[in-house]
Amino acid sequence: MRRKIFSIWSVLLVLLISTAVLLPGCVGEPTTATIEVRATLSGVDWQGDLNYTLTPAEGSPISGTRVPNSFTVSPGNWNLTYVSGGPPEAVQVGGVWGWLGEIDGEIVEVGGGLGEIADVFADDLLGWDIFFEPCGDASIEFKTWTIDGQPVSPGTYQVPAGTIVDIEYKVHVSAAEGAEVEVLETDWLETQYMGPCGPVELHTINHLGAVKMSPDADKLSQTTKRDSLPAPDGLSFWIEEVAPWELGVETEWELVALVDYIKSINWLSFADDGAEVLFNADVKFPLDETHIFILEAEGCVEMEGDENPENDCTGLCPHLTLEVVWGP
């Protein structure tokens, strides 16, 4: 019986020693990390020839020539620099944006612009996205003033309180067919209140439906301004008689190339805070007289890689004069 027990212990000891010999790496720590480099064109993954450099805080840089690509590196601080190449007829925009692996299933962004990521630990998965937008030409052209949605020629019109005045522009982006291009559009309404006496109180409404495109386009942001300063929703301010004043709106859009868009802006309502407009004007006195407003407008559009900036702005369009009847 003792021999059998001794034999069993001998076999177990041999198995333990064998396991230790066969699996020496189980107790070690990873000594490398992984860097991935990707590129996007108008937000869509792109692959092809692209030159960039990965530079560590210590050691020799690594040259990359294609995307997507993956590199095994030593832990430390790394920097990515875009050199050249990428999608044809496109421009690299916005630097590069870094991301660091996944935490609880979500990509964690850790840096942008310069492409620098600090404290890259062993066994990390990290990377950068290099962003491109297609080259092309963005243009804008004045189309018409409208009163309560009806097109009107520049001139003088008598209207009741509650009227909405807006404007329409033609907007176009020339680039590769079907490309989705981000543009920034800035519009101004230059106004003079001519009396009979003032001042006028304006309220910022900034209704999201006040600026729209036909056909529909993705609006990324909308910000109202007064004399180039932000005019947040709910802001009220006074406008003096005769002195010119300027209202503005900035919108960011994602437009499809080679599509003809009509942009409409509901600029101003009179005594109607509930209208889908950017601003509402209120005259406190006298309410039984006709109040005169002279309006001029200008619009601009910007895109990265614009090849013809000469058609980016309309200049001041012909003015519109409104005689607003506040009384019964």
Q: What is the mean pLDDT of residues 108-120?
A: 53
d(CA 326, CA 304): 46
Q: Is the peptide bond before 154 cis (omega within 30 degrees of 0)?
A: no
Contacts of 191 (CB under 8 A, 6+ apart): 239, 244, 245, 246, 247, 268, 293, 294, 295, 296
Collapse the DSSP code of 227 into the 3-class scheme (helix H, G, I; strand E, B; otherwise coil) and give the result.
coil
Bridge-based pairing of strands 229-230 and 180-193 is: unpaired
Pick the range with the lowest mean pLDDT from 106-120, 148-162, 177-191, 256-270.
Answer: 106-120
Residue matched to tokens 């680039």: 175
| Contact between residue 178 and residue 256 where contact means Cβ atoms under 8 Å apart | yes
Residue 325 CA to chain centroid, in angstroms?
41
Q: What is the pLDDT of residues 227-254, one digit of tens each?
A: 889 999 999 988 887 778 899 999 999 9
Q: What is the structure's pLDDT at 129?
A: 86
Alpha helices in 178-328 (DSSP H): none
Q: Which domains does the chain have, with CATH numbers?
A: 31-134 (2.60.40), 137-325 (2.60.40)
169 pLDDT above the threshold of 90: yes
d(CA 290, CA 283): 10
13 — pLDDT class (breaks 50, 70, 90):
very low
7 pLDDT above the threshold of 80: no
Average pLDDT, whole number, for the chain?
82
Q: What is the pLDDT of residues 123-139, one digit of tens each?
A: 777 788 888 888 889 99
Q: How many C-beta atoms lie closer than 10 Å to residue 99's C-beta?
A: 19
Q: Bigger pLDDT: 321 or 326?
A: 321
Collapse the DSSP code of 302 into the 3-class scheme (helix H, G, I; strand E, B; otherwise coil) and give the result.
strand
Q: What is the structure's pLDDT at 11?
A: 28
270 pLDDT above the threshold of 60: yes
| Contact between residue 77 and residue 116 where contact means Cβ atoms under 8 Å apart | yes
DSSP element (H, E) containing 36? strand 33-41
74 pLDDT above the threshold of 60: yes
Pick the range with the lowest mean pLDDT from 69-73, 77-81, 194-198.
Answer: 194-198
263 pLDDT above the threshold of 70: yes
